[in-house]
Amino acid sequence: MHFHTQNVHFPNKEKAQEVSKTKPIYQTSAFTFQDFEEMEQYFSGDKSYLYTRMGNPNSDDLAKGTADLEGAEMGASAASGLAAILAGVLAVAKTGDHIVATQDLYGGTYSLFANDLQDFGIDVSFVDMESREEIESAVQENTVLLYSESITNPLLRVEDIEGLSQIAAGRGLRLMIDNTFATPYLIRPHESGADIVAHSATKYIGGHSDVTAGVVTGNKELMQKARGKIAMLGSNIGPFDAWLGVRGLKTLAVRMEKQCRNAASLAEALQSEKAVKKVYYPTAASPEGNGAIVSIELADGVDATAFSKELDWVKVVPTLAGLETSITYPIATSHRPLPDELREKLGVTAQTIRISVGIEDERDIIDIFQKALQQSAARVNS
C-alpha cells in the first residue's frame, strides 16, 4: 500500500487476541463484516451489532447491568434520564392514549408530560397519588399508564408502588416508576409490580458527576419497543458515556451505603436547628436505608441565597448525586417548570433547599450545615 492508504488502514482486519479485564470502549459509529452475507446476519439476529445508534456493547452493558440489579428481564440505555423516560412511555403509549401521573414530579418530567407529550397526541392527568379515589377518578377509557417516582423529588414522599400496581392491574394499565432517588440498592419497583422502571443514570448509577445517561428496564417485549424508540429518535447514549455509567454502577452499593448513612445523620442533626422550619427525610423507604437526599424548609426570614453563600466547600448545583455534598434550589432549577400554584400546593417554596449528601465524613457535613444555618439565623435575629 502507498502511504496515504497505509495511513488509514491499520491495523489489518483481525480478531483481537487480548482479553481486557474491563470491557473495552467500543468508540465506533459502526461495526464491520467480512462480506454482505455476514452483514445480513445482523438482520436475522445472528450478529449483535451493526450501527451504534442501534446498539453497542457498552450501551448494552449499562442496560443489562441496571436491569440485573432491578430484577428485570431486559433494559435499554439512552442519552439522558428524560430520553429514557420518553422511551419507556412511548413503549406503552401512542397518539390518542392517556396517562395518569403523580403531581409531585421532577420538573423536567412534568414539562415533558404537560407539554411535549401533547405534541404526540398523548394526554396526561396529574393527581395526588396518595389518594386512590383521585387516581381511579382520573382513569379514562383510553388510559394506558400510571406514572410515579419511588421517592419523589424534592419532598421525598415514598410511593406505595404495590398499591399502585394493584390499581394498574385492576384497570388493565401499565405502571412505570422513576427509581432515580432510591436506586435498586434501596427499592426494586419490579418486585412490587411495576412494569417499567426508569433511571436518570446521570445521578447515582453514574455516581461521579461526569456522565449524562438514562436507563429503562422491564420485560423483553416492552424493552425491545423502548430500544427501538431510542434508536429511531436518535437518543442513544455514546459508547464512552455508557462505559462511564458501567464504571459507576459497579460502586453503587458502597456509595449508597455511605451516602444514606450520612444523610440520615444530617437529617437528625438539622431537626434541632432554629433556622430550619421543617426537615424532609423518609423514615421507612427500605431496610437498606432511606436515601441520600435531605430537603429542608428554611425558617421564615432566613434568606436562601445568603444561606447558600455560607456553605464554603458544599457545591451549589442544578442537579444531585455525585460523591460530593451539594445543594440546589428547586424553585429555580429542578421544579422551575411547574406552575406557581402547583409548587405552592406541593409545598415547594422559596424556602425549600434540597441537599444531596455525599461520601465525606459525616461530622464535616453536619458541621458545615449547622454553621451556615446558625449564621443565617443570627442575621435574622440581628
Catalytic residue among 60, 97, 106, 110: 106
Could you confirm whether 336 is annotated as catalytic?
Answer: no
Dihedral of CA 296/302/304/309: which sign?
Answer: negative
The reply to whether omega before 154 is within 30° of 0 (cis) is yes
What's the grid cell of residue 335? Answer: 421544579
Could you confirm whether 178 is annotated as catalytic?
Answer: yes
Catalytic residue among 60, 61, 104, 178: 178
Tell me the three-class secondary structure of the chain, residue by residue.
Answer: CCHHHHHHCCCCCCCCCCCCCCCCCCCCCECCCCCHHHHHHHHCCCCCCCECCCCCHHHHHHHHHHHHHHCCCEEEEECCHHHHHHHHHHCCCCCCCEEEEECCCCHHHHHHHHHHHHHCCCEEEEECCCCHHHHHHHCCCCEEEEEEECECCCCCCECCHHHHHHHHHHHCCEEEEECCCCHHHHCCHHHHCCCEEEEECCCCCCCCCCCCCEEEEECHHHHHHHHHHHHHHCCCCCHHHHHHHHHHHCCHHHHHHHHHHHHHHHHHHHCCCCCEEEEECCCCCCCCCCCCEEEEEECCCCCHHHHHCCCCCCEECCCCCCCCCEEECCCCCCCCCCCHHHHHHHCCCCCEEEEECCCCCHHHHHHHHHHHHHHHHHHHHC
CA–CA distances in Å: residue 354 to residues 102, 199, 300: 20, 19, 17
Could you confirm whether 53 is annotated as catalytic?
Answer: yes
Could you confirm whether 361 is annotated as catalytic?
Answer: no
Catalytic positions are: 53, 106, 178, 203
